[in-house]
Amino acid sequence: MILSHPPAQATNRRTSGTAARRLRACLLITCFICGLRVDVYLPVRLSHMRVAATLALSVIALASAAQETKAPAKVTISFATQGYAGMPIWMSLPATMSQYVHYPSSWNPTDFGCVQIAVRQGTTTIPPTILPSNSAVGIVCGWLAVSGTAEGRLPLHLQYPNLEPGTYEVRYQRYYPDFQTYTRNILEESDWTSMELRTIQRTCRS
């Protein structure tokens, strides 16, 4: 935050002498909130010092709060049915999250938009299988507006098609890309959630 008197060029030729004197009798408070410059002119007369101090502290608090990194919101993921290796596995999110998570996000079946799913078994992290996309156009973190779009569900088996029977842990994260720093701002995430995959029982008929 910068405290100073208004620059001389702040008054133009059309400004009257009284208005110019009033402007020069103000204190200029300049601060930057999320990269945006905010100028506040405050009177410096003694009767206004308390108001000026209160407003200055409010501006400082607002700037500090805007620069704080918020912790991701916690959500709970679940699996509606028992999972089997080699079969479809759908991960579900709370109903309140359906407005953010839709599938498909593009013509690429392994594209989950601004959602990343991590799977591990013990201490081993399993890399996802994501098909390359030729280009990305449209709304950031959007989805295809087609009938039958899955809301609040994601097909885990498309990114992890080769999971063997066993116990795994799954973590969901939804992010928004920062195009200036090329990083991902995590908006919400789940804890590592247990997922058991069984061997499908095949029966033969005579």
Among 33-47, 63-77, 94-108, the range scoring the smallest mean pLDDT is: 33-47
pLDDT number for residue 58: 56
CA distances from 32 to 62, 66, 142, 187 (A): 10, 10, 31, 24
pLDDT digits (tens, 9 = 90+) for 14-52: 445 555 455 455 555 555 444 445 555 555 554 455 555
In a domain, 203, yes or no: no
Q: What is the pTM of this model?
A: 0.61
Q: Is there a single domain that holds both residue 38 and residue 87?
A: no
Strands 83-84, 193-198: pairing is: parallel
Average pLDDT over residues 163-169: 96
Alpha helices, DSSP H, located in 25-93:
49-67
Q: Is there a single domain that holds both residue 37 and residue 78?
A: no
* Residue of 115, 145, 152 lying closest to 130 (CA atoms): 115
Last residue of a domain, one of 67, 90, 124: 67
Average pLDDT over residues 184-192: 92
Helix (H, G, I), strand (E, B) or coil at 16: coil
Average pLDDT over residues 86-102: 80
CATH code of the domain covering residue 151: 2.60.40
Q: State the Cα–Cα distance between residues 24 and 112, nearest whole angstrom.
A: 57
Average pLDDT over residues 77-106: 84
Q: How many CA atoms lie within 13 A of 197 on its CB side?
A: 23
Q: Is there a single domain that holds both residue 61 and residue 83?
A: no
Q: State the Cα–Cα distance between residues 149 and 155, nearest whole angstrom.
A: 12
* Residue of 45, 92, 41 lying closest to 195 (CA atoms): 92
In a domain, 59, yes or no: yes
Q: Is there a single domain that holds both residue 17 and residue 115?
A: no
Last residue of a domain, one of 24, 40, 67: 67
User: Is the pLDDT score of 197 beyond 90?
Assistant: yes
Q: Is there a single domain that holds both residue 124 and residue 46?
A: no
pLDDT number for residue 3: 45
pLDDT number for residue 127: 96
Q: How confident is the model at residue 156 (pLDDT cuts 50, 70, 90)?
A: very high
pLDDT number for residue 1: 46
**Number of domains comprising the chain:** 2
Q: Is there a single domain that holds both residue 89 and residue 164?
A: yes
Q: Is there a single domain that holds both residue 135 and residue 190?
A: yes
pLDDT number for residue 190: 94
Q: Is there a single domain that holds both residue 117 and residue 96?
A: yes
* Residue of 61, 102, 94, 95 lying closest to 78 (CA atoms): 94
Q: Is there a single domain that holds both residue 183 and residue 113?
A: yes
Q: Is there a single domain that holds both residue 92 and residue 123?
A: yes
Q: Pick the residue with more confidence: 81 or 178? A: 81
pLDDT number for residue 29: 53
Q: State the Cα–Cα distance between residues 100 and 159, nearest whole angstrom.
A: 19
Last residue of a domain, one of 67, 92, 115: 67
* Segments forming the whole domain that contains residue 6: 2-67
User: Is the pLDDT score of 101 beyond 70?
Assistant: yes
